[in-house]
């Protein structure tokens, strides 16, 4: 490849990384639109293990909305933190690619008063749709997790969410 082709390939890989980071940021910000927009318009293959497997993003987007936006007494019940790392992005064509990521995940469930820490691997496929990279396949395989009770004296403070300000 010449230098122009190499730069173009690197720009595509960077755009895919930005897509995945926006996806995780939308998850943590309780942003259903941002979550949904990370995927192709229809036909995305999604498999999140215990959360379910789907042939389109809409059922998963509904589950995400129900869980992420659930409130009790004006406070969110579920607080998530997604940290993705170790990306391996491979371009498979002019407008297609595959990716593998490691996830570090932390969740507070204020209803159950539990904290879950987990890790696992994402195996993704990406395509360009309407000029933007989107996920066409997103499969998460959990490596391990631990759930433990929150200390009774733990003080949890909820901050602002981008989805609320974008509203």
In three-state form (DSSP H/G/I as H, E/B as E, the rest C), the secondary structure along 84-141 is EEEEEEEEEECCEEEEEEEEEEEEEECCCCEEEEEEEEEEEEEEEECCEEEEEEEEEE
pLDDT of 49 reads 93
Q: pLDDT tens digits, residue range 132-143?
A: 999 999 999 999
| Whole-structure pTM value | 0.92
Whether 166 shows a pLDDT value over 50: the answer reads no
Mean pLDDT of 92-101: 98
- Could you give the CA distance from residue 113 to residue 39 in angstroms, rounded to a whole number? 32
- Could you give the CA distance from residue 33 to residue 155 in angstroms, rounded to a whole number? 30
Tell me what the pLDDT averaged over the chain comes to. Answer: 94
Mean pLDDT of 92-120: 97
What fold does the segment set 3-166 form as a domain?
Nuclear Transport Factor 2; Chain: A, (3.10.450)
> Residue 146: pLDDT band by 50, 70, 90 thresholds?
very high
């Amino acid at each position: 490849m010449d230098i122009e082709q190499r730069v173009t390939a690197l720009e595509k890989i960077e755009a895919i990384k930005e897509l995945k980071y926006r996806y995780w940021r939308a998850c943590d910000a309780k942003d259903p639109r941002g979550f949904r927009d990370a995927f192709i318009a229809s036909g995305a293959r999604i498999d999140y293990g215990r959360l379910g497997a789907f042939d389109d993003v809409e059922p998963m987007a509904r589950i995400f909305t129900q869980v992420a936006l659930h409130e009790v007494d004006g406070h969110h019940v579920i607080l998530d933190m997604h940290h993705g790392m170790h990306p391996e992005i491979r371009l498979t064509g002019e407008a297609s690619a595959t990716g593998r990521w490691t996830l570090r995940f932390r969740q507070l469930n204020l209803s159950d008063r539990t904290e879950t820490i987990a890790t696992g691997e994402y195996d993704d496929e990406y395509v360009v749709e309407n000029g933007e990279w989107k996920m066409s396949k997103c499969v998460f395989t959990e490596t391990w997790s631990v759930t433990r009770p929150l200390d009774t004296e733990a003080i949890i403070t909820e901050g602002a969410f981008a989805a609320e300000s974008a509203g």
